[in-house]
Amino acid sequence: MQNERSLGKDAKIYIGTSGYSYRDWIGPFYPAGTRQDQMLSFYAEEFSFAEVNSTFYHLPSARMFEGMLKKVPEHFLFTVKAFQGLTHRRGDAVREEAVRMVEALKPLSAGGRLGALVLQFPYSFKANRENREYLQSLREWLTGLPVVVEFRHKSWLGRDTSSLLHALGMGFVCVDTPGLNGLPGGAVQATASVGYVRFHGRNTATWWRHEEAWERYNYLYTEEELSEWVPRIAFLAGKCERVFVAFNNHFGAQAVVNARMLKRILPPGFSP
């Protein structure tokens, strides 16, 4: 089953999930008995891109991506979440970590298989002069890579941010989140050749209060809720060369259910 659709004149939309290596997907998605080292190959039979999230917790190696490329078809793309040292910390080590990130991504970037590097900043990262300058530094350190930025605080919504990202050649990550005060959920901006959407779920009760990280993203979208995004995705497709849509509501393979649902409700030949 193919999930890559042409939207607009030249844009392509890729629908997939945030991560793919989850034990609780065995049964709901992966066949019983599937080993962890078999998951990516099975996943790539249905989806044409995956967002790699393990890289947020530890710096990856080029060897890791070389191994992943061997398990997927030639058309398959990866988007990669940046190491948390780049987005959640400061200090002398950050520049070195950025260099190591660029080196690790070479098997993907050199072969045209890197869809985007995702910089996911925390809620505490608010719009101010210092943080804008930090984005400029990251752009310099990550030269040559397609970079998209996810803000978790609504202070980044507005023309100033759009102008800054456009000038830096960075994409704006559009997010669907619970309707809680301070979150930027639902905002759509096209600031680079890559458009990006992440669905985190709308679990208001557990967004701020949870014992395990997965509880925040334990949510299954309805078709009506996803339909709200069809015109927004159309807008992005009309402005960008590629649009990646990643479902992060991964608990119990709900991300797979909703990815399939979105593919179904996007009309064939849909043009913005």
**How open is the CA angle 209-213-214, to the nearest 5 degrees?**
110
- Residue 225 and residue 240: Cα distance in Å, rounded? 23
Please list, in sequence order, all residues whose beta carbon lies within 8 angstroms of the beta carbon of residue 125, skipping any fewer than 6 positions away: 87, 131, 151, 152, 153
The answer, as to whether pTM is greater than 0.85, is yes
Return the domain boundaries, the chain: 4-265
- Residue 272 and residue 270: Cα distance in Å, rounded? 7
CATH code of domain 4-265: 3.20.20.410
Of 183-187, 190-194, 223-227, the range with the lowest mean pLDDT is: 183-187
Q: What is the rounded average pLDDT of the residues 171-195?
A: 93
Q: In whole numbers, what is the pLDDT of the chain averaged over residues?
A: 92
Check residue 269 and give its pLDDT: 58
Check residue 213 and give its pLDDT: 79
Q: What is the rounded average pLDDT of the residues 228-238?
A: 95
